[in-house]
Each structure stands twice: as C-alpha cells, then as structure tokens.
C-alpha cells in the first residue's frame, strides 16, 4: 500500500471515529439536558441554554471542526488520484 493510501485511510478512520464519538457525546449530553414538557425555560434546570452551551455544544463543534479540517484534504487527494468513485463514499 502506498504512502498516500495509508494517509488517506488514516484520515478516513480519524473522521469516522471523530464523527461517531462527537455525535454520541452530543446526543448523550443533549438528551440529559432536554426539558420535559412544561419545564421549558427554567433556569438551572433541564433545558437551560447555558448548560447546553457548556456541555453539549462543544461536542457538536469538535465534530464539525474535524469535518472541516479533514474532508477537504480527502477530497483533494481523491481528486488528484482520479479515484472519483471513492469520493461518493
């Protein structure tokens, strides 16, 4: 396996692991902070936007940042190697 294939495989593996972990943690913390009906807007309780911002939003941000950093690199490598069917994955 060539060096570029190894780097691409590592980038894809990193991207998959980052997405799975970020989405899982975001959903876990987001669901913990979900307000039951009738309790929306209570400060310091479920549904508090400040708690959501500190606990759930960072995981969403990390996942998005990983995608923004890695996806252009993968797309460029696939384009330069003319491996366009892989781009559809």
CB of 26 within 8 A of CB of 63? yes
State which residues form the domain around 15: 3-87
Distance CA 51, CA 70 (A): 29
The pTM (predicted TM-score) of the whole model is 0.66
Confidence (pLDDT) at 82:
73
Confidence (pLDDT) at 7:
76
Confidence (pLDDT) at 78:
74
The number of folded domains in the chain is 1
pLDDT at 89 over 80: no
CB of 36 within 8 A of CB of 30? no
């Amino acid at each position: 396996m060539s060096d570029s294939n190894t780097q691409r495989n590592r980038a894809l593996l990193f991207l998959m692991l980052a997405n799975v972990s970020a989405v899982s943690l975001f959903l876990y913390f987001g669901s913990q902070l979900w307000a039951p009906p009738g309790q929306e807007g209570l400060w310091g309780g479920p549904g508090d936007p400040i708690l959501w911002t500190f606990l759930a939003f960072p995981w969403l941000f990390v996942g998005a940042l990983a995608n923004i950093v890695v996806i252009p690199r993968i797309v460029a490598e696939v384009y330069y190697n003319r491996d366009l069917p892989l781009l559809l994955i």
